[in-house]
Chains A and B, each alone.
Chain A
Amino acid sequence: MKPYNIYISGVGGQGIIKTSTVIGEAAMKNGMPVVMSEIHGMAQRGGVVSTQLKIGDAYSPIIQEGGADLLLAFEPMEALRAISQINRESFVVTNTSSIMPFNITASENPYPELSVILDELQSHSKKLFALDAEQIAKDAGHILSLNMVMLGGAVAVPGFPLDREVIMESMRENLPEKSMPVNLKAFEEGFRVCLEK
């Protein structure tokens, strides 16, 4: 099976590694080969975090530039930073609520306008799904369910190799039971919003 490549990026503390593990375990339980790369350590203290997943036959989890089928970005500027991972056939799902770097007041480069970011993503991919995952997560009951909103969005993308039930099963096995109602709601909402785009 030719691998389906997912590049996930965002900021430390957003639950990116957990989300990636949910996808990876779901693939494995579904009988698909899967490899994933994650970076720990220094990167966690508010820095950029990214993971890469290949579902299908692959030795290395590292995706060649321009080779991601799906870019899942938890933060808009981090989506733009990762734009070299996609090609014109790729799909992009991005959160639109931004997180300012802590040193932005002293930074030479300003944080780009959201509309500029979205335009670039739009014009270099097959389709862009932009959603305010932070708001959706808050409405679902807790801002920390933002990662499940994004996961829901990813599952709604055409060609995503795993279906909702398989992912939800994996959520149950990987997330604390008491947060499940909120997480499921967040997931469903992310899924619905993307499906309607």
Chain B
Amino acid sequence: MNIKEILKEGKDEKLFLLGNEATVRGALEAGVAVASTYPGTPSSEIGDVLSKISPEAGLYFEFSTNEKVALEVAAAAAASGLRSFTFMKHVGLNVASDSLMSVAYSGVNGGMVILSADDPSMFSSQNEQDNRHYARLANIPMIEPSNPQEIKDLMKYSFEISEKFQLPILMRTTTRVSHMRGMVELGPIKESKNKGFFRKDPGRFVPVPETARKMHGVLMEKMEKIEDLTNKSPLNRIFNRGGKIGVITGGSAFNYVMDVVEENDLKVNVLKLTFSYPFPEKLIFKFIKDLDRIVVVEEVDPVMEKEVLAVIGKYGLEKKVYGKLDGTLPMIYEYSPDIVLEGLETVLDLNLQKKEVYRTEIPLPNRPPTLCPGCPHRAAYYSIKKAVNNLGLENVIYPTDIGCYTLGIESPYQAADYLLSMGSSIGTSCGFSKATDQRIVSFIGDSTFFHAGIPALINAVHNKNRFLLVILDNSTTAMTGGQPHPGLPVDGMGGEAPQISIEELVKAAGVQFSKTVNPLNLTRTQGIFEEALQYDGVAVVISKYPCMLIKSREKRKTVTADIDLDKCENCLECLKDLTCPAIYEEDGSVNIDPMYCRGCTVCIQMCPEKAISAKK
């Protein structure tokens, strides 16, 4: 399917959509006027699709510099009466959380949906935090879809509820829902109104102590009314299968429960909570009052389980609750049908005949992800290691950041020693610089620098730190699939945009030593690194060369590296110190796979025997 088909007018049409694509369709059917994000897996494809279709669909879309800005763009649009949508990965909501708390107080006029894509089991994240807590922290309604069709339908519904109660809605998906593909029946697309009007109302939109106190009261009233709704909502659905055992679940876990229950014909009743916050206390009471045993199946934290226990305590019931807290189900990581079945077996005292599962006893080599062949980051890492060795520096600390370059953690580079979050490379370098006498070399990508690096760099200079900051500028947000950022001449909808210069930002932050280098030139790069390493203060080197994935999209490569085996002394330096995936060993000699080689010429420059050359 061509992604433009997502714009199809159509009733009774069906498309095979990724959860993230269904999200976009939902936004279109809801008449969203403004959408914003900072790219982050598992939510990235929402932005990729919006960026392709927004001009045609007549809505405004942007890649904001970070999630906080994205949320603020959407909040202001909603305050002006437009329907707005902002979406991010779970940790992105941490960045946006400061403003999230306030928009809960002030509320919205046009509907506003905030989507958080959580990542249980951490397929591409630094943690697996459970953002259902944010609905509780901010005290705003939460909706949790289980499949692409539901995402699409619930997007529409969420905007209606948001507008009715004038509150933003938090939608939580997880990787397995965002990256699930399924059939989606289309509904009519709603034309969006794309100019709003902001009617001033400081009592509502400016939370200073006096007004904020009132706003909190208003929020509580709204949430009480919405709890009536969650108690009665058909979205919170009971699957009655008889018996005295009940399962309470939602999101992706609901799918596992249903597959396991139906396949094994288990006698358990299932309550699916989709409109999951405000927690529907009365509905829970009604569901559990005649049951003997209750199982709560949820990913990641025991959020609903504790709330069910609270209901039991409040109503003075005596019921046994099974879940994470009593060890029936695992406390962390994502679930699967196998895990859910095992848990239900304990609760139901069943001993189902197990499928015999064979696992190989051969120890298999792992296959970690790595930098692409020809990746400019590899060249930069190679040179920094050379420079550090050449100067005889020891115990160098390498704070790093979030992007493809985090893969510098792998040997032989091992140039990743400390990481907290987006932008933390620079802030933590300041700390290391004050706390130790060790040399510090810090890495951050271009997009990450715009996202959260700038305030930290100002801090570094102002507080007189000493470290080398390498800005790995590959002209894209590579890790999440190559989205643009403020350093590029394009905006989120493919239009022309003013380019913000990293060089000038660095200078404006007060950095005295700042140089730009092409990392594919090894000698020059190593030289500049050596110079920078000896500088007493904050030194910045901008290692600038486009990501190979964009490079190869733009033009065909011009040369391929080729090894002359007569000259090769089998020192294996290219294999061991460079580890370009295009270079491999076979039958005791080194080879280069012309299919994978991107012609970056780095191996040609580093081979001590000059055995590698460029072939047209």
Contact = CB atoms under 8 A, between A and B. Distances in A.
Interface of A: 11-12, 20-21, 24-25, 28, 33-48, 58-67, 77-78, 80-81, 83-84, 86-88, 100-112, 116, 120, 124, 143, 173-174
B529 interface: no
Interface stretch (B90-98, B157-165, B172-180, B289-297): B172-180
B508 interface: no
A112 B362 CA distance: 8
B480 interface: yes
B410 interface: yes
Given A21-B16, A62-B256, A40 B337 contact: no
B337 A42 contact: no
B534 interface: no
A46 B572 contact: no
Interface residues of B, number: 62
Interface string B364-400: 1111111110000000000000000000000000000
28 contacts: A28-B16, A34-B182, A40-B41, A40-B42, A41-B44, A43-B123, A46-B369, A46-B372, A46-B581, A48-B367, A59-B256, A60-B255, A60-B337, A61-B181, A62-B176, A78-B367, A80-B364, A81-B360, A83-B359, A84-B358, A87-B357, A101-B365, A101-B366, A103-B410, A106-B412, A109-B365, A120-B360, A143-B595
A83 B1 CA distance: 31
B585 A42 contact: no
A44 B124 CA distance: 10
Given A24-B181, A35-B147, A105-B585, A42 B576 contact: no
Interface in B585-601: 585, 595
Contacts of A67: 355
A178 to B, nearest CB: 15
A65 B337 CA distance: 9
Given A64-B338, A101-B367, A111-B365, A45 B259 contact: no
B252 A60 contact: yes
* Main SS class of interface, B: loop
A124 B359 CA distance: 10
A64 B341 contact: yes
Contacts of B358: 66, 83-84, 86, 124
Contact of B584 (A83, A84, A100): A100
B45 A40 contact: yes
Contacts of A78: 367
Nearest to B359: A84
Interface string B408-421: 00111000000000
B181 A41 contact: no
Contacts of B523: none
